[in-house]
Amino acid sequence: MDNFEKIESYLMDELSKEDRVKFEQELKLDLQLQSDLEDHLLARDLIEIDIATNLKAKLQGLDQPKNTKVRKFNFKVWTIAASLLICISSAWIYLDKNYSNEALFDKNFLIIENQVRGSQPSSPEEKLNLLIKDLENGQVNSVGAFQKFIDENEDVDNEQKASWYLALAYLKENNIGKTKEVLQNIISEKNNPFSNKASILLNDLNNVWRNVIN
Amino acid sequence: MIETEIISAIRAGGRIRDQALEQIYTNAKVKNRAKAILVKYNCFDTDFNDIYQDAIILLDKNVRNGQFESRGSLEAYLMSTCKLLWYNELRRKKKFVDEEILKNLENTVTNEVDQTQYDEDLLKLLDLTLKKLDERCRKVLEMWKLSYSMSEIMETLGITSLGMTRKLKFTCLNKLTDLIKCSGIKPIKKRHGQF
């Protein structure tokens, strides 16, 4: 058994009583063994210092609040977030400009207004033009006025035109269900000159992006 | 864990020691009592935390090395250790301290040896030896010294057999003693027991 093993067995208390006595007698006379033992004890002291250092770090860790992690400013994440925000805002503005009830009303009302201006004056037509002007100016109860005009009017052209404006009046009041209902009636009528426009407007109203902004 | 179980757990070492030490350290009642005592001697927040941690380290070491005598309660032992450590700290910072406070504290501390302050040579030796060993060696030696079983060490370090674990511990300890020999540094240190 070399010194290393002997010393380890001695320190670990693994020697028999006789061997222990023998080792201690040897120790008194052997300077090298004394020096080796001293080195072993030093090694243990050093390991103890390491243990104390690690325990200190562990205890300090226990003092740290568990839920207050300091987050580092992550430039990349913030850049992505900002870009996303810009994209979403732009998309929102675009959708609102093109698919909101107000935008669809303006888009469709202006086109027909030109046609109205070109019509020949006659009593029911003049009345209809006045109702259209009222609708443009935001007069209240345009829906009721157009509905009444349709009910009382016997001329098919005026009735078709009035139905189109009734749909727009519902749209202006944000009553989408009724708007769609009137548009579907227009589309279903054969030879209705507003049928194409009604289809386009109905498609716009059914556009999935409208769900995002409404 | 009750007090006797805590002491047994520290003596047993391994993972159960970690749990016991965490339980003492996080016991707010004991910690607040220690704080209330040390505040009287001008020991506040940061200093207190440092002293309290060192007291736990000292308790751990003394229990493991058989130097802890449970004459009183564990709590009383911790309180007197805290006072001793703070007394030593105040002496080191003498110029900043009221002499009366120091004297009052001196009357309350025991004669126990403060083992938290290390000789400069020992710290130098640490840099030249243990810190030169690889992480695996340091870990195996630490676990062995903390009485982890060979199977716990094997499992933690992902070693394939108990024989290999024993061999690793032997090799690492051998390396460490060789490095100590080569360093030529022989620090003078007060020892308990052995001689």
Neighbours of A214 (CB within 10 A): 13
pLDDT digits (tens, 9 = 90+) for A94-115: 887 777 888 888 878 765 554 5
| Alpha-helix residue ranges (DSSP H) falling in B93-130 | 99-108, 120-128
Above 80 in pLDDT, residue A73? no
CATH 2.60.120 for the A99-213 domain, yes or no: no
Give the angle A89-A93-A94 at the CA atoms, nearest 5°. Answer: 115
Q: What is the pLDDT of residue A157?
A: 84
- Which sequence spans correspond to the domains of chain A? 3-63, 99-213
**A51–B191 CB contact, under 8 Å:** no
Which residue, among B116, B114, B133, has the nearest Cα to B125 in the 3D structure? B133
CB A61 within 8 A of CB A69: no
**A62–B26 CB contact, under 8 Å:** yes
CATH 1.10.10 for the B120-183 domain, yes or no: yes
CB B63 within 8 A of CB B10: yes
pTM above 0.90, yes or no: no
Neighbours of B77 (CB within 10 A): 23
Q: Which two tokens stand for residue A154?
A: 């016997």
Q: How confident is the model at residue B32 (pLDDT cuts 50, 70, 90)?
A: very high
Q: What is the pLDDT of residue B195?
A: 31
Report the residue of chain B nearest A51, measured CA to CA.
B142
- Which sequence spans correspond to the domains of chain B? 3-108, 120-183
Distance from CA of A54 to the nearest CA of B (A): 10
Distance from CA of A60 to the nearest CA of B (A): 8
**B57–A42 CB contact, under 8 Å:** no
Distance from CA of B99 to the nearest CA of A (A): 30
User: Measured over all CA atoms, what is the biggest interatomic distance in chain A, rounded to whole angstroms?
Assistant: 137
Report for A82-91, A129-138, B116-125: range of highest mean pLDDT: A82-91
Alpha-carbon distance of A186 to A175, in angstroms, equals 17
**B138–A40 CB contact, under 8 Å:** no
Please give the helix or strand (H or E) that residue B83 lies within, else none: helix B74-92
| CB proximity list for A193: less than 8 A, separation 6 or greater | A160
- Residues 68..107 of B with a Cβ closer than 8 Å to A: which? none
Contacts of A24 in chain B (CB under 8 A): none
Q: What is the pLDDT of residue B193?
A: 38
CB B12 within 8 A of CB B146: no
pLDDT digits (tens, 9 = 90+) for A137-192: 887 788 898 888 888 887 888 888 899 999 999 988 888 889 999 998 888 887 88
Distances (CA, A) of A207 to A84, A173, A184, A214: 23, 19, 16, 11
Mean pLDDT of chain A: 83
Q: How confident is the model at residue B141 (pLDDT cuts 50, 70, 90)?
A: very high
Distance from CA of B123 to the nearest CA of A (A): 8
The mean pLDDT of A82-93, rounded to a whole number, is 87
Looking at per-residue confidence, does B28 or B45 come out higher?
B28
**A8–B54 CB contact, under 8 Å:** no
Q: What letter does residue A120 receive in the DSSP assignment?
A: P
